[in-house]
Amino acid sequence: MNISNRLRDHRNDKRRSHIPFRLNLLFLIVFISFSLLIIRLSYLQIVKGTEFTALVERTETTESSISVPRGLIYDAKGRVMVGNEPKLSIIYTRAMDHSPAKIAGIAKDLAQLITVDIKGLTKRDLKDYWAATHETELQKRTPASFNRLTGSKLYLEQLKLVKDKDILYSDKEKNVIAIFKKMAAAYSLSTVTVKNDGVTNEEVALVNERLSRLDGVNVATDWTRRYPEGNLLRTLLGNVTQESTGLPRDKMKEYLNKGYSLNDRIGNSYIEEQYESVLSGTKKKIINTTSNTQDVVDQKEVYQGKKGDNLVLSIDMNFQKRVEEITEETLRQLPKPLADRAYIVAMNPKNGDLLAVAGKRMAREGEESENGIVDDALGAINSSFGMGSSIKAATVLAAYMDGVITPDKNTITDEAIVFQGSKPKTSVFNRDGGKIPLTDIQALERSSNVYMMRLAMMMGGQSNYEPGGLLDINPTVFDKLRNYYAQFGLGVKTGVDLPMESTGFKGVSRETFYALDFSYGQYDLYTPLQLASYMSTIANDGVRVSPRFVRSIRGTDKNGNLGALETPVAPTVMNHIQCSKAIIEHVQNGLYQVTHGANGTANEFAAFNIPVAGKTGTAEAFYDGPIEAEKGRNVINSTFVGYAPYNNPEIVVAVVLPYQNASGEDVLAKKVALRVFDLYFNKRWDQTGEDTPNPLETPQPNQVNGRGEDNLNPSLTNGSNPSANQTNGQ
């Protein structure tokens, strides 16, 4: 017993002796740990304290921009043709911490105060909203295999998991979704318009009362384009995109690189597009300062922005209206249904000012119209037709430039031309088979087809003609004629200040027989604007000036009206005809004989009080309009182009009346042109019955004459002295 008791006591003593050691070891470890922690904290506070404090207090700056009102478009006398109509709008600026879910919440609150159009919602829009409001559920549905996807690829695959039954929303819910869609389109710190059409005073009041609870929402003033003159020149003035449409896809990268936002409104056609950089202005710039928690701690306006500059057109709207009236009256006289359109272009040959561009067309089935007629001024720029004899002056000058005739040697006999296997080709005035020697002046006066064909033969290397013989000319005559015609603006871009312009249509065959037709305007097709450019070049002593709609760019004064001159738009000289001034004046005399000679095809002008020079044209053509059953039918295009006064030209008038009855008498085009000349020189076209004083009197270069000199004119309005298939716009 004693021995066993002693052994047990020994073991107990041994266990008790280890307890203090373990406690001491534990205390030591704790002590060391706390010491290290204190040392580390001291290091962080003393050594790194300043650095970490700066990190916590760090902020970032981000630049955002806000659009400004678009510039206006005025006529030549300072009257608004395209303006801005101010209107109330509800806007939203997206904060950096606004997630889709948060935006959905704001949209839900805002939807209780305003209503928006829900017609444009798509299935994708409904899915986007469901995904934003059911993030947890969407994550649950997402299979593990999607982990390899990121960004938009992952999101698109997740949207496929949204079921049709998930998006069975009521109209009330769709109102929320439509608001969400517009708000979600904004990127961080950018502003979008939630509603700007039909915003009521009640909606504005309700939103204003709850702005503190609608994070990022505000009330502002927006604008929309208005047209005080209705459809006047509407097709050429162009359009501006809607904010919902934003930047066009095909030019998105280009505009983004220029500082535009995705939802910016831009000019997307014709004058609005051509002068986008002028009309758009410069956006207001704001520097946003955000904390590391993405809260905006400061906003500073660094640039207040600049409203878009204004365009002053070369067109006097009252003159334009009267020319459009003449065009419409003419259209109603044409034989239907084929002759369904009419075009008139009036242009200053010295500076390129377009004084009137009118086009009218009969409305087609289902097409909105006024009295069955629609505006087709664009057709004067982009529709092309065979112009017939109107272009013969270019052929004569081409022959001079090519050296096949000279002032001393230019007589050719007009007689029926017959080659092996061909029918006779004659001039209209010489159908009986006579032989009539003609100079170039007489050929223009009487409109000799044969004279022009013989010129083409000589330019192609065949100087002599034998009845019943072979036509042996070089096909390069096509290239020669086109190169010469291009100097007048025929078959090439005229340089008009529009983003899209037709160059006409070139015949594709190189069969030399067609070169004869080509010489008197019956092969290639040209636009009414090209016809005006061609005659302007001759009237301006061989200097081709590009047509223009815009004469100057002006700012806005403090009262919001047309302001000071910002940029004068100087005339653009495209080229000089490679011909001496003496020969050009010689051909000008031929055009004068057309309207004043005893045998002139338009000698009705001889009785007019202003001397006019010009050329008639009748192109035998095939109908190629919208009536499928009539395509290929024989028709004529009636044309006239001329200028006045003959000794100091102020205006060129081109008239094109396509698709007339082939058996009818071609007299209408010259009568229409005479009405336009009479309107310009003898009639007061202002509504007051008097010429309106021009308030825009800043001198600017506006004239280039045949000697290549710029002349200054203090007025922005000029002239106070009062096969012919169609391409495009059928």
**Residues marked as catalytic:** 389
As a whole number of angstroms, the distance between CA 179 and CA 234 comes to 32
Neighbours of 305 (CB within 10 A): 16
Neighbours of 85 (CB within 10 A): 10
- Length of the chain equals 730
Q: How far is CA 680 from the centre of its chain?
A: 29
Cβ–Cβ under 8 Å, residues 456 and 518: yes
Cβ–Cβ under 8 Å, residues 283 and 68: yes
As a whole number of angstroms, the distance between CA 456 and CA 453 comes to 5
**Exposure of 672 by Cβ count < 10 A (0-12 exposed, 13-18 middle, 19+ buried)?**
buried
3-state SS class at 213: helix
> Any idea which residue has 């969407």 for tokens?
138
Token pair of 100 as six digits: 């889709």
As a whole number of angstroms, the distance between CA 94 and CA 357 comes to 46
**Exposure of 178 by Cβ count < 10 A (0-12 exposed, 13-18 middle, 19+ buried)?**
buried
As a whole number of angstroms, the distance between CA 70 and CA 323 comes to 29
DSSP β-bridge partners for residue 306: 282
Strands 543-545 and 550-556: unpaired
Q: What is the residue type of 248?
A: P
Neighbours of 699 (CB within 10 A): 12
Rounded-to-10 torsion of CA 596, 600, 602, 606:
20
Token pair of 153 as six digits: 């690829």
Token pair of 617 as six digits: 């044209």
3-state SS class at 113: coil
Q: How far is CA 245 from the centre of its chain?
A: 16
The counts of H helices and E strands in the chain are: 22, 22
Q: Kindly provide the b/e burial profile for residues 135-163, where b requires at least 16 CB atoms within 10 angstroms of the residue's own CB.
A: eeebeeeeeeeeeeeeeeeeeeebeebbe
Q: How far is CA 509 from the centre of its chain?
A: 33
Nearest in space to 630 (alpha carbons), one of 730, 509, 729: 730
> Any idea which residue has 């290239």 for tokens?
479
3-state SS class at 161: coil
As a whole number of angstroms, the distance between CA 727 and CA 502 comes to 9
As a whole number of angstroms, the distance between CA 691 and CA 438 comes to 46
Sign of CA dihedral 130, 134, 140, 143: positive
Q: What is the residue type of 419?
A: F
Nearest in space to 54 (alpha carbons), one of 297, 296, 291, 300: 291
Token pair of 543 as six digits: 């200097």
